[in-house]
Amino acid sequence: MRTPILALVLTATGLQAQTTFAPPGATWTYHMSFAFIPSAANNVVTCIGDTIVADRPCSILQTTVPNGCFSFYRYVTVSADSVLLWEPHSASFEPMFILDTEVGGSWQAVLYDTFSGTPSTIDCTVIGVGTQTVSGVTLRVLDMHVVVDGYLDDWSSGRVVERFGDLQYIFPHAFGACDGEINGPLRCYTDAEIDWLNPLVTQCDATMGIGDVAPSTVTIVPTVAAAGTPVRVDLSGTHPDAVLRVSDSNGRRVQEERIRSWSSLSLDRPGLYVMQVVDGRSVLATQRIVMY
């Protein structure tokens, strides 16, 4: 007698109340580009329905870039305040984020590189919590510090919003540098209740040819340069508690300092870095830096 390992049964709409990660029809639109190439494209992720995976009701996700450098997970479920993805390599659910985590709390996920099947451990520690109201709906917000042990590169923005997920990309882990493919940031999110446009862009579609709105308080240049090239950070406005933080692609903090109006620093090793300017619990800017 054979015992089924994975039960996959498609249903129509009866599971919607149980899969609160996002309702069917929800759409995430991300900017997509490549390092060293001035290109702009859209990566659109859509929740196309519900199903059952390993006895759990799941949202089914679909992407317009199915074979990219970033791992993509088709099935996402919710257990209380935990949002979980189905990891096919281990045939298990792994946490994407846990919305009721308090400051100092953490979770761990083991995800596999899509190309080689090599596991990486992702540790997420919550450093801030809050809420955001969009279209009259109050959404929970987590600020996180992410550390990856393994081959995957972490591209997390450091902020998760309920329904939206990570503000960089819904699954922000890539196979190494992978030709410099960059997914994100999230340009817009829509569902039956919410219609959100990133305030730093002028339209949802990245290919319209209309210039995006630059952040008004922080300027970081250059963002792609040879290792050792000074990177200048200029901060406008009054932010007496602003802090500049730099992490490597594994989430390890490599530099942190107070910033008043400007700062200049050098990153001597080639690689991908995340530079973030924080004022109290507000993130003023998050920028990816590529040193070659």
- Shared domain check, 252 and 141: no
pLDDT at site 85: 96
- Shared domain check, 171 and 252: no
pLDDT at site 198: 84
Task: Give a yes or no: residue 113 inside a domain.
Answer: yes
- Shared domain check, 248 and 185: no
Find the CATH number of the domain harbouring 249: 2.60.40.10
Report helix, strand or coil for 152.
Answer: strand
pLDDT at site 71: 83
Contact 73, 59 (CB under 8 A): no
Single-letter amino acid, residue 10: L
Q: 19: which 2 tokens?
A: 């899969």
Residue 140 CB partners (closer than 8 Å, separation 6+): 99, 129, 130, 131, 161, 162
- Shared domain check, 20 and 130: yes
**Structural domain containing residue 54:** 8-197
At which of 163, 197, 231 does a domain end? 197
| Low-confidence spans in the chain with pLDDT less than 70 | 1-20, 34-40, 67, 176-180, 207-216, 238, 250, 281-282
- Shared domain check, 122 and 261: no
- Shared domain check, 243 and 152: no
- Shared domain check, 231 and 94: no
How many domains is the chain partitioned into structurally? 2
H or E stretch covering 186:
strand 181-190
Task: Give a yes or no: residue 123 inside a domain.
Answer: yes
Q: How far apart are CA 65 and CA 132, in angstroms?
A: 29
Q: 272: which 2 tokens?
A: 């991908």
Q: 228: which 2 tokens?
A: 């050792």
- Shared domain check, 78 and 173: yes
Task: Give a yes or no: residue 67 inside a domain.
Answer: yes
Task: Give a yes or no: residue 207 inside a domain.
Answer: no
Task: Give a yes or no: residue 205 inside a domain.
Answer: no
pLDDT at site 189: 96
- Shared domain check, 14 and 142: yes
pLDDT at site 184: 80
Contact 89, 120 (CB under 8 A): no
Distances (CA, A) of 113 to 30, 41, 44, 79, 116: 21, 24, 21, 25, 6
Task: Give a yes or no: residue 94 inside a domain.
Answer: yes
pLDDT at site 60: 94
pTM exceeding 0.75:
no
- Shared domain check, 55 and 136: yes
DSSP category for residue 214: P
Task: Give a yes or no: residue 245 inside a domain.
Answer: yes
pLDDT at site 15: 43
Q: Is the dihedral of CA 224, 114, 152, 94 positive or negative?
A: positive
Q: What's the first-to-final CA gap in the chain, in angstroms?
A: 57
Report helix, strand or coil for 180.
Answer: helix
How is 172-213 classified by DSSP, letter by letter?
A: -EEESSGGGEEEEEEEEEE-SS-EEE-TT-S-S-TTS-PPPP
Contact 245, 256 (CB under 8 A): yes
- Shared domain check, 163 and 68: yes
Q: 285: which 2 tokens?
A: 């800017």
Q: How far apart are CA 14 and CA 26, in angstroms?
A: 16
At which of 168, 197, 226 does a domain end? 197
Task: Give a yes or no: residue 81 inside a domain.
Answer: yes
pLDDT at site 3: 36
- Shared domain check, 60 and 14: yes
